[in-house]
Amino acid sequence: MPVPCKICGGSAILKRPKTGDALCRECFYKVFEAEVHHTICEANLFTSGETVAIGASGGKDSTVLAYVMKLLNERYNYGLNLVLLSVDEGITGYRDDSLETVKRNEKQYELPLKIVSYEELYGWTMDDIVKQIGLKNNCTFCGVFRRQALDRGALLVKADKICTGHNADDIAETVLMNVLRGDIARLRRCTAITTGTDGALPRCKPFKYTYEKEIVMYAYFKKLDYFSTECIYSPNAYRGYARTYLKDLEKIRPSSIIDIIHSGESLSIKKDVKMPTQGTCSRCSYISSHPICKACMLLEGLNKGLPKLAIGKPHKARQRLAALGTVSPGNSSATASSSAATADSTSDSSSTAKTGTSDIPEQKVDF
């Protein structure tokens, strides 16, 4: 006997992972879209007239985000100017293929597309970086560079905000990772639906309470065009272990994902706990809690042929930089040369200096 849809009484074709409700296809669409709209309105994510850059990777999350943002913008008259923004990390056999999906999305959704690349911003591709660093710490480089690249790309399209496809699963994973690492500073802000408000480019997450499985179901039933292959360099990523643990929890208790997010939102920090003080990078003027931001330190190591120079704790990285005469390890207000470091003669990656971010317009962001 067919299971009836909980909303309309018709024939249900799916069971919502988030609530366990049996729904028909049309009711699932309505509920999914209504919940995202509610999240946007409840958090006052946007203001009419703003230009919003949608982080578009070609994957399921960003593809559904672009589709739903365009749909809701027209349905509820948000008055937003939407732009697709993609980052080409330079991963052969992965990002080049996914960008073809984004280019098709550009035509399908009739939204302008801007693509920025690691090579043009930093003088390095991820393929080049992996050749230097190997597969153990490559995600550190990519994560730091990608965050900055999105902000720089958004600046180029004159965006007021960046909108990303981070879903409930992603945020719950981040809470777990920060707990395991004892990272109080990131734990405090990782559940925020909008970050970077102290800079010029806030980032928002309309899918904060949306389950990954429901995003996949929405993309499947809507027959959206997206790229489903995982990054070839991510199998050993630390996040993967948190994801596996979270999926095991979800099997036992589906509400675990939302419960973890709510727990992160409810955490309070003791008054005597010392928190990082936001400042600006002395090189690129981006927001940083250290004299030199992580991106510039990573570039320093790459350009000197010492890719592991900035891996690990910030104070240890500064000590290694000091040993090379770049910055004083004991002076928190120390400044570095305003130009990016040039490549050392021992560097295997290039025979010329790689100037990193010096030619790109300056913009403050939260790392």
Please give the angle made by the CA atoms of 132, 136 and 138, to the nearest 5 degrees: 60
pLDDT of residue 287: 78
CA distance 99 to 88: 8
pLDDT of residue 315: 54
| Sign for the pseudo-dihedral over CA of 24, 29, 30, 36 | positive
pLDDT of residue 32: 98
Predicted confidence band of residue 320 (pLDDT cuts 50, 70, 90) = low
Q: What is the mean pLDDT of the chain?
A: 85
Predicted confidence band of residue 359 (pLDDT cuts 50, 70, 90) = very low
> How far is the CA of 193 from the CAs of 5, 40, 179, 196, 261, in angstroms?
31, 10, 19, 10, 11
Model pTM greater than 0.85?
Answer: no
Highest mean pLDDT among 8-12, 192-196, 304-308: 8-12
Q: Which ranges of 163-278 does DSSP label H, i.e. alpha helix?
A: 168-181, 184-189, 212-222, 238-252, 256-266
pLDDT of residue 364: 37
Highest mean pLDDT among 33-47, 128-142, 172-186, 286-300: 33-47
Asked if 304 contacts 347 with a C-beta cutoff of 8 angstroms, the reply is yes
Predicted confidence band of residue 319 (pLDDT cuts 50, 70, 90) = low
From the CA atom positions of the chain, what is the Rg in Å? Answer: 22
Percent of the chain beyond pLDDT 70?
84
Count Cα neighbours of 248 within 13 Å in the Cβ-side half-sphere: 6
Tell which wins on pLDDT, 349 or 222.
Answer: 222
**Average pLDDT estimate for 159-172:** 97
> How far is the CA of 21 from the CAs of 15, 16, 212, in angstroms?
5, 5, 16
- Which amino acid makes up residue 156? L
Percent of the chain beyond pLDDT 90?
61
CA distance 21 to 10: 13
Our separate counts of H helices and E strands in the chain read 13, 10
Q: In this predicted model, what pLDDT tens digit does every residue of 70-126 receive, in sequence order? A: 999 999 999 999 999 999 999 999 999 999 999 999 999 999 999 999 999 999 999
**Average pLDDT estimate for 210-221:** 97
Q: Which two tokens stand for residue 14?
A: 């799916």
